[in-house]
Amino acid sequence: MITVFNSLSRSKETFVPSSKNHIGMYLCGPTVYSEAHLGHGRTGVSFDVIRRWFEYRGFNVRFVSNVTDVGHITTETDDDGVDRIGQRAKLEQLEPMEIADKYMWSYFQDLAALGVKKPSITPRATGHILEQIEMVQRLIANGHAYERDGSVYFRVRSFPKYGHLSGKKIDDLEHGTREDVREDKEDPLDFALWKFAEPEHIMRWNSPWGEGFPGWHIECSAMALKYLGENFDIHAGGLDLQFPHHEAEIAQAEGAGYAFAKYWLHGNMLTIGGEKMSKSKGNFITLADFYQQKAEPMVLRLAYIQSHYRSIAEIGDEIIEGAKTALSRLREVKRELERRIPEASSGENPSLEKALEKAVTEFEAALDDDFNTPKGLAAVFDLTREVNTALTAGTGRSSLEKALNFYNTFVGGVLGLYHSAQSTATDDAQLLEGLMQIAIEARGVYRQNRDFSRSDGLRERLKSLGVTLEDTASGTRWKLEG
Amino acid sequence: MITVFNSLSRSKETFVPSSKNHIGMYLCGPTVYSEAHLGHGRTGVSFDVIRRWFEYRGFNVRFVSNVTDVGHITTETDDDGVDRIGQRAKLEQLEPMEIADKYMWSYFQDLAALGVKKPSITPRATGHILEQIEMVQRLIANGHAYERDGSVYFRVRSFPKYGHLSGKKIDDLEHGTREDVREDKEDPLDFALWKFAEPEHIMRWNSPWGEGFPGWHIECSAMALKYLGENFDIHAGGLDLQFPHHEAEIAQAEGAGYAFAKYWLHGNMLTIGGEKMSKSKGNFITLADFYQQKAEPMVLRLAYIQSHYRSIAEIGDEIIEGAKTALSRLREVKRELERRIPEASSGENPSLEKALEKAVTEFEAALDDDFNTPKGLAAVFDLTREVNTALTAGTGRSSLEKALNFYNTFVGGVLGLYHSAQSTATDDAQLLEGLMQIAIEARGVYRQNRDFSRSDGLRERLKSLGVTLEDTASGTRWKLEG
């Protein structure tokens, strides 16, 4: 029995899937006009673990996560008509779609390095213009939207539930809107569903209202319903999207006559040294830069999941150093188990058996309780102490095998921490060259000592690893077979 | 001055770009309903090298390559209404888009392993339904298309140039069509632009002709024009697509009133042991299987480019063995140059200088001549013999540096053969473990011989490589820093 915190009810609820074995899950994906940063990484990892937990619990998860490749509005009132992708395109002298594709690939590469599984479906906003236009037409027909000069707006006051998800009241919202509202809206609260394209706007499509482009919010309503159907299980996203984006999504979908997501899950933000990450504070960091300057991706993944997804996660240098050590321990214990199991004496180790039972119970209880990864990790580290004791004793092979299975299933499969990052070619080459020089020197010493059985043995062992040695006038060269 | 073989004129022509520094290039991409195979790999590599050559020659290439995620018709007459993606989806109990996404990711992963650069833009057919509908509407308005019972067909006889690209005559084509033509077409030659969706068809969109889906050919005309504009430079694809797909593309684009591609480049097929690859012959192999069973991706890349892109390429076991050896030589010479340059005496090596000049001239002439990669490779291997001689002499550092630059620019940059494939974790781990055991044993021997300066030196060298040793009761363990 899995319990999830549903933002809609602001409480933990027992998760009841819409179908016995299948779960439909939608996650708001990135706007692809710049490199992915630590915030993208956290959202990706949080819901990747949640997806993996559902899979562990036997569900077949259809995980849909969109790519916003239509530039969207930058101001909170959503109506100044600035297209971010278009702006950047002019700067770089590129076609907007070229920018979108470039950053889409880099986004998925950066997230793959974190061990985040690819979504089942990655719909692109520009790939679903027809579906968005049709939803806008339904909203107009249902009285929830109206056209003004080639743009279409959602009539917020026609949907009294607006604000329900984020706990805001429509009348309070009114005071928060800016002064410089466009004259053509009935109400400053109304948001754009379709926007008239000014002549300088590059991305544009024909529509019943002339040439234009979709508003930011409409894509998610249209694409979630297209690929998951009505009444799907889970809609997820960052907390910063709860208002107005998710409110708008609900209003659009329900206004068009469709039942929408049953559970809304929101992931929290992160801090660096206690401060919110932002360009103005100078602590903004992309994932690619983090991997180069701070630590390998798996360290970051561990640092993320040391916090519960609904808590603020601190990702400062101290946390990263701690995560490095913790990750080493998790890798070390797995490596030692693999190395020592073949030589361990057979049979059970009673105290390890007990520790394993406790670890499984605690890990499962933690993850079932709204995906509590820090508690799950605590269970893992408790177990690790016991395993290390058992390894020193070197007894109880079947218990050690069970322990290895625990790490593979929970630390590898569910938490995704054994994903092998592609190490940089430079590091690899350097390490390889260094180790080869050590081996070549050893062979020289053995021969000097006339210990030919060792020197020949070394050569054979290298050969079985695919390395051949060649003695030349200028020294011994090595070659790795392709 | 680059010369290209233009299928339109069936002759080599001087390449004249449409804009001074920019080239627009469109390549027909995969239908994503199954794993990519050797044929996909060859097409990808052929046009990747051509793109890289244009880039070497100073052009900014916008490389557009589509993803066909609408299942298309299987018979040559294009009218039995079978949707391949839909079929497979029912089989696997998946949403068609889930299949399409799965194989789209695996396609780009398999091609990335071959060092094929990502396209600038990868438009998906399902992402451009609106553009395709609009083109069909224009074709109807221009008298080149007509609707029958919810489907729209291209009126082939209204476009007398049809057959021009592939050298076929319309009247001859008539005899080749099947008997079981649909009654609703004016002429058996006519092909579908839009298809009425039967109730069992999953992928469907609203259109002016009711719910349906686009014909296979229309996507490329619509998407090439959208992202490259009229009169773009190069349209590329496999020879098997020349008829009917590329004929249809031209007919659609020009019929709709747009000037289309200026140069048409076609890549040839491959054989295995002299036979065409096919499932029925049992010699069909996917890229993923090839990498696992035959050789690493770079060997395959080299095997491909040992043939000219317009020739049939033989990819049998003998060729692969030869490519392994050749690739080792190319890697070896680069590694040796990098290793030996710091210790070489300064100055020039006159005979190497002469060989380098010759190699550059020959390589450039070969690639300028319709991208003749086998001739380019011959120039590389001629040079390699000279470089090896120079390396033995160990003199002429500046010439050796120029040689290294040659390999990096031409073998690495243009031919793309120094792309480091992600080696499998298993191989890496095995090699690392093997080398570490050799190092640990050597340290044991040094200590046994009371040669502590060597044993401490070894430990320090490992440390500088990020490896720490720990002596325990059960032997020495090693650990790689994260």
Query: Which B residues 336-365 touch A at CB under 8 Å?
Result: 336, 340
The Cα–Cα gap between B324 and A176 comes to 68
Q: Would an 8 Å CB–CB cutoff place B435 in contact with chain A?
A: yes
The three-class DSSP label of residue A287 is helix
Instruction: Tell me the residue type at A166.
Output: S
∠ at Cα A204 (A223, B215), nearest 5°? 65
How many CB atoms lie under 10 A from the CB of residue B172? 9
The Cα–Cα gap between B409 and B422 comes to 22
Q: Would an 8 Å CB–CB cutoff place B327 in contact with chain A?
A: yes
Does residue A156 surpass a pLDDT of 50? yes
Contacts of B123 in chain A (CB under 8 A): 97
Q: What is the mean pLDDT of residues A151-180?
A: 84
Q: Hey, are the CB atoms on A101 and B118 less than 8 Å from each other?
A: yes
CA of B181 vs chain A CAs: smallest distance (Å) = 32
Query: Which A residues 146-175 touch B at CB under 8 Å?
Result: none
Residue-level pLDDT at A177:
54
Is residue B186 within 8 Å of residue B218, measured between CB atoms? no
Query: Which B residues 95-114 touch A at CB under 8 Å?
Result: 95, 97-98, 101-102, 105
Instruction: Tell me the residue type at B249.
Output: E
Q: What is the dihedral of CA A133, A134, A136, A142, to 10 degrees?
A: 160
Does residue A19 surpass a pLDDT of 90? no
Give A204-258 pLDDT, tens digit per residue: 999 999 999 999 899 999 999 999 999 999 999 999 999 999 999 999 999 999 9
Bridge partners (DSSP) listed for residue B3 = B14, B369
Q: Hey, are the CB atoms on A431 and B466 less than 8 Å from each other?
A: yes
CA of B436 vs chain A CAs: smallest distance (Å) = 7
> Picking from A35-39, A57-61, A181-185, B395-399, which range would have the lowest pLDDT averaged per residue?
A181-185
Of A134, A295, A438, the CB nearest to B458: A438
Residue-level pLDDT at A90:
36
Instruction: Tell me the residue type at A463.
Output: K
Of B118, B121, B296, the CB nearest to A482: B296
Contacts of A121 in chain B (CB under 8 A): 95, 97-98, 101
Residue-level pLDDT at B93:
45
Q: Say if the ipTM goes beyond 0.95.
A: no
The three-class DSSP label of residue B301 is helix
Instruction: Tell me the residue type at A167.
Output: G
The Cα–Cα gap between A297 and A291 comes to 6
Residue-level pLDDT at B471:
81
The Cα–Cα gap between B2 and B307 comes to 19
The three-class DSSP label of residue A382 is helix
The Cα–Cα gap between B116 and B114 comes to 5
How many CB atoms lie under 10 A from the CB of residue B258? 17
The Cα–Cα gap between B435 and A436 comes to 7
CA of B481 vs chain A CAs: smallest distance (Å) = 8
How many CB atoms lie under 10 A from the CB of residue A463? 12
Q: What is the mean pLDDT of residues A360-378?
A: 98
Using 50, 70 and 90 to split pLDDT, how confident is the model at A71?
low
Of A121, A130, A479, the CB nearest to B129: A130
Residue-level pLDDT at B272:
95
* Stronger pLDDT, A87 or B448, i.e. the higher one: B448
Q: Give B408's DSSP letter.
A: I
- Written as tens digits, the pLDDT of chain B (482 aa) is 999 999 999 999 999 998 888 899 999 999 999 999 999 999 999 999 999 999 999 999 999 999 999 864 333 334 455 555 655 433 334 688 998 999 999 999 999 999 999 999 999 999 999 999 999 999 999 999 999 999 999 999 999 999 999 999 888 887 555 554 556 899 999 999 999 998 878 889 999 999 999 998 999 999 999 999 999 999 999 999 999 999 999 999 999 999 999 999 999 999 999 999 988 888 999 999 999 899 999 999 999 999 999 999 999 999 999 999 999 999 999 989 998 898 888 899 999 999 999 999 999 999 999 999 999 999 999 999 999 999 988 889 999 999 999 999 999 999 999 987 544 444 566 778 888 889 999 999 999 999 998 998 898 888 888 788 888 777 788 877 64
Query: Which B residues 261-280 touch A at CB under 8 Å?
Result: none
The Cα–Cα gap between A45 and A373 comes to 11
Pair of tokens at residue A447: 């021969």
Length of chain A measured in residues: 482
A and B: number of Cβ contacts within 8 A:
146
Is residue B215 within 8 Å of residue B78, measured between CB atoms? yes
Is residue A270 within 8 Å of residue A62, measured between CB atoms? no
Instruction: Tell me the residue type at A264.
Output: W
- The per-residue DSSP string of A242-259 comes to IIIIIHHHHHHHHHTT--
Dihedral class, residue B394 (left if φ above 0, else alpha if ψ from -120 to 50, else beta): left
Give the nearest chain A residue to B427 (CA atoms): A465
CA–CA distances in Å: residue B82 to residues A25, A348, B78, B178, B202: 30, 58, 9, 16, 12
Q: Kindly state the percentage of chain A with pLDDT values over 90.
A: 73
Does residue A144 surpass a pLDDT of 70? yes
Is residue B247 within 8 Å of residue B218, measured between CB atoms? no
Q: Hey, are the CB atoms on A461 and B477 less than 8 Å from each other?
A: no
Contacts of A481 in chain B (CB under 8 A): 324, 328
CA of A465 vs chain B CAs: smallest distance (Å) = 6
Q: What is the mean pLDDT of residues A422-450?
A: 77
Give the nearest chain A residue to B434 (CA atoms): A465
Of A295, A442, A445, the CB nearest to B438: A442
The beta-carbon contacts of A317-325 under 8 Å, at least 24 apart in sequence, are A317/A273, A320/A294, A320/A295, A323/A295, A323/A299, A324/A295, A324/A299, A324/B482
Report the half-sphere exposure of B423 (CA within 13 A, side-chain side): 16
Residue-level pLDDT at B391:
92
Q: Kindly state the percentage of chain A with pLDDT values over 70.
A: 91
Pair of tokens at residue A6: 């549903």
Of B160, B156, B143, B216, give the one whose Cα is nearest residue B186.
Answer: B156
The three-class DSSP label of residue A182 is coil
Pair of tokens at residue B218: 């229309």
How many CB atoms lie under 10 A from the CB of residue A25? 26
Interface test with B, best of A333, A435, A443, A451 (most B CBs within 10 A): A435
Q: Hey, are the CB atoms on B445 and A441 less than 8 Å from each other?
A: no
Is residue B69 within 8 Å of residue B85, measured between CB atoms? yes
Of B118, B121, B205, the CB nearest to A130: B205
Residue-level pLDDT at A460:
86
The Cα–Cα gap between B34 and B32 comes to 6
Of A65, A54, A67, A68, give the one whose Cα is nearest residue A27.
Answer: A65
Task: Give the list of residues 6+ apart from residue B474 with CB closer than 8 angstroms, or none.
Answer: A340, A394
The values of phi and psi at residue B31, to 5°, are -90, 120
Q: Could you tell me the domains of chain A?
A: 3-267 (3.40.50.620), 272-414 (1.10.730), 427-480 (no CATH)
Residue-level pLDDT at A74:
36
Residue in the structure block whose two tokens are 């190092």? B439
